Structure 1
Amino acid sequence: MPSTGPVSGPSPGAVRAPRRAALVLTPALVAGLLLLSLLAASVGAYEIPLADVAGSVLHRTGLGGATTDRVAEGVLWNVRLPRVALAVLVGGSLGCAGALMQGVFGNPLAEPGIIGISAGAAVGAVASIALGLAFLGTWTVTVCAFVSGLLTVLVVYALSRTDGRTEVVTLILTGIAVNAFAGALIGLFVFVADDAQITQITFWQLGSLAQATWPKVLAVLPWAAVGLAVAPLYARRLDLLALGERQARHLGVDVERLRVVLIVVVALLTAAAVAVSGIVSFVGLLVPHLLRMVAGPGHRFLVPGSALGGAVTLVAADLAARTLAQPAELPLGVLTALLGSPVFFLLLRRTRRRQGGWA
């Protein structure tokens, strides 16, 4: 009779490989973000040498360096750097939110828009434009989009809750229904808007960082900081949740509480990002996919890594959006969708070919 030895688990090499990849990727992403940020601050209609950009930043932060000429200083600190900073915050928020959504739903096809955050924020922005609201001046559209996005998530969660619990399938189906309703509301507001308002609505929906200012950076910063600080604290529980809800409960995870907290974090990150940039698609969906393929599914790296990856992606995309068709500027959301959708399709086909789909 053949002997039956213990069932072998993953080899130590197979376990260490993702850890090594994570150790390499983290400094690479940080270095890439710094270099891209300097490049984005340098390149444009008014060229500023990289050495002058670095010197001015070092001088302003009290680390040496020197200022450049007055025109370059004005362009750098009033136009370029606010835009770069906003791209970092928006990209980091969307990337982190995407990783959290995929962990909460146990599905790599999940992204923040699936529970109506982006569509809800769009309703608030479009309504404020179409109705000519201006109770907060230039901040009206931003505030309406942020509040509307948060309220939409609360509605989705309330409608999904049954007997004190929420099921993933119910959340997804409710999100689909709310997205459809939000789309209908947007259509109605577009119908009653005049030509100038329709142009403004279209520009907002296509996504852009062209209106970046330091006040907008400061408006997003607290929400992004809170979300990005809280999210990694739940990495271990997300790893346990990946084993299945029942197993996670047996291991001491309060699944319902975990889901509520992380959906709130996702709502804050996404609503703040969408409120200042419009709808920028595929960042929260694609970035966690790519990192998961390289560094494995562990959320201790995946959550902060997706924030870094999202920031790198959006800084690069915004640089391309404003330089590829100079003097015109491509809509940021259109560019990310054009590049992201075929890459996502290729990843999907590759995964299905190799392992029959996502586990």
Structure 2
Amino acid sequence: MSSLSETERVGSRRGLSGLGFFGLGSLLLAVSVLAAVSLGAVTIPLETVWSIVANKLWSGAFEVTWSRGRENIIWEIRFPRALLAALVGAGLGMVGTALQAITRNPLADPHLLSISSGAAFGAILALLHTGLFLGLATVPLFAFLGALAATAIVVLVTRVTDATSVGRLVLAGVAVSFVIMALANLLIFLGDPKATHTVVFWMLGGLGLAQWSHLLYPLSAVLLCGAYLQFHAGALNAMTIGDETATTLGIQVTRFRLRVFICTALLTGVLVAFSGTIGFVGLMVPHIVRFLVGGDNARVLPLAALSGAIFLVWADVFSRLILAPEDMPIGILTGFVGGLFFIFLLGRRRT
């Protein structure tokens, strides 16, 4: 218990119901998705949104009183975009939770630990230099390999430099991220100038390319990796206490940490392939959830997924409305909010 952070102890003392938060979060997520589909440069009433969605799911459920243009906006553009935002937010929330547990580092995040940078590097390599020789799976595969390579490099750097403290691990991740992004910029420089506008999507983060046919990949990654992490929530709890304690509980620490790194790299790689690099979601969301329900990862993981989904859905809404009718890259908004949260977290830990 002594190893828990102050926010985790506060949440534990409050004894808040994880099930209650999950039910409330699920309802809020459903409302958020409907609101995201309704709001935009052209606002469409919620009753029209519901009628269009219901007619798509159950043909003839409502009489058609809307234009074909509005139907396309709702079903072909905004609905898949809102669902992609929810999937990406859920995945990043779980990735941040898992990384903070296995590294015992409250500042761990796929963006700060260069995992997102490695995934972006792989995506850029596939788009500008290798081509989609494996079809639509090429970019997610290369993004996963890039995320996995970046994770391995960070682990290697921390071991070579003996950077075992919280601050040094984050610095190692940031340093590796700078190197990887420099190489990514080199790939852009050497690539076809006419195609470089495509990679801006991955550099700044965005959900504007969401399509129904693409959602299967992030959905599968979130479900499979999320199920693995949830199944091993007890082991993640043990890892937060220390390697020695985890070993006495029968956990093969090195092997388990490697499997979690691979799992988070796979999930991050697939998400980055379809949304670009969206930072700090994995840093903020787990801390907020732990403050509410305590430090048990059996509750934190699913609630972090829900909270991350809700946060990113609304972040996407604001990114579409701030400069309407233009879409501001969502990575700008999450970077701004996440940077402020990071400063707050550093100040709180210092206090």
User: TM-score interval w.r.t. the shorter chain?
Assistant: 0.7 to 0.9
Q: What is the aligned partner in structure 2 of residue 250 from structure 1? A: 248
Residues 233 and 297 in structure 2, CA contact (< 8 A), matched pair in contact too = yes
CA shift in 2, pair 1:14/1:352, >3 Å: closer
Q: What is the aligned partner in structure 1 of residue 179 from structure 2? A: 181
Unpaired stretches in structure 1, ≥5 consecutive residues: 1-12, 354-359
Residues 96 and 304 in structure 1, CA contact (< 8 A), matched pair in contact too = yes
CA shift in 2, pair 1:145/1:261, >3 Å: closer
Residues 56 and 67 in structure 1, CA contact (< 8 A), matched pair in contact too = no
**Is it true that 1:51 corresponds to 2:47 in the alignment?**
yes
Question: How far apart are the structure 2 equivalents of 1:327 and 1:235?
Answer: 43
**Is it true that 1:328 corresponds to 2:292 in the alignment?**
no
Q: In structure 2, what residue type is equivalent to 1:339?
A: V
Counterpart secondary structure, 1:210: coil
Which one is further off, 335-344 or 310-319? 335-344
Residues 37 and 49 in structure 2, CA contact (< 8 A), matched pair in contact too = yes
Q: In structure 2, what residue type is equivalent to 1:44?
A: G
Residues 86 and 310 in structure 2, CA contact (< 8 A), matched pair in contact too = yes
For residues 1-359 of structure 1, what are the structure 2 equivalents within 5 Å? 17-62=13-58, 65-66=61-62, 68=64, 69=66, 70-131=68-129, 133-135=131-133, 141-153=139-151, 175=173, 178-193=176-191, 195-353=193-351
Residues 34 and 46 in structure 2, CA contact (< 8 A), matched pair in contact too = yes
Question: How far apart are the structure 1 equivalents of 2:265 and 2:135?
Answer: 25
RMSD of aligned C-alpha atoms?
3.0
Question: How far apart are the structure 1 equivalents of 2:290 and 2:182?
Answer: 35
Q: Describe the superposition over 1:7-33 as per-residue Cα deviations: whole angstroms up to 9, x where unpaired.
A: xxxxxx978644325344222221211
Select the structure of larger CA radius of gyration: 1
When normalised by structure 1's length, the TM-score is 0.83
Question: How far apart are the structure 1 equivalents of 2:213 and 2:311?
Answer: 23
Question: How far apart are the structure 2 equivalents of 1:157 and 1:351?
Answer: 24
Q: Describe the superposition over 1:181-237 as per-residue Cα deviations: whole angstroms up to 9, x where unpaired.
A: 312312322332454444333332000000110111112221111011111111111
Q: Describe the superposition over 1:303-327 as per-residue Cα deviations: whole angstroms up to 9, x where unpaired.
A: 1111111101110001111111101
Residues 119 and 147 in structure 2, CA contact (< 8 A), matched pair in contact too = yes
Residues 160 and 171 in structure 1, CA contact (< 8 A), matched pair in contact too = yes
**In the TM superposition, what is the alpha-carbon distance from 1:168 to its structure 2 partner?**
6.0
Counterpart secondary structure, 1:20: coil
Which one is further off, 259-268 or 332-341? 259-268
CA shift in 2, pair 1:14/1:317, >3 Å: closer
Question: How far apart are the structure 1 equivalents of 2:81 and 2:310?
Answer: 13
Percent identity, aligned pairs only, is 35
Unpaired stretches in structure 2, ≥5 consecutive residues: 1-8
Question: How far apart are the structure 2 equivalents of 1:83 and 1:126?
Answer: 22
Q: Describe the superposition over 1:234-258 as per-residue Cα deviations: whole angstroms up to 9, x where unpaired.
A: 1111212222111221122222232
Counterpart secondary structure, 2:50: helix
Residues 55 and 64 in structure 1, CA contact (< 8 A), matched pair in contact too = no
Question: How far apart are the structure 1 equivalents of 2:60 and 2:298?
Answer: 36
Counterpart secondary structure, 2:111: helix
Residues 54 and 65 in structure 1, CA contact (< 8 A), matched pair in contact too = no
Q: In structure 1, what residue type is equivalent to 2:247?
A: R
Which one is further off, 216-225 or 191-200? 191-200
**In the TM superposition, what is the alpha-carbon distance from 1:329 to its structure 2 partner?**
1.0
Which one is further off, 33-42 or 134-143? 134-143
Question: How far apart are the structure 1 equivalents of 2:72 and 2:222?
Answer: 27
Residues 163 and 172 in structure 2, CA contact (< 8 A), matched pair in contact too = no
Counterpart secondary structure, 2:16: helix
Counterpart secondary structure, 1:46: coil
Residues 10 and 294 in structure 2, CA contact (< 8 A), matched pair in contact too = no
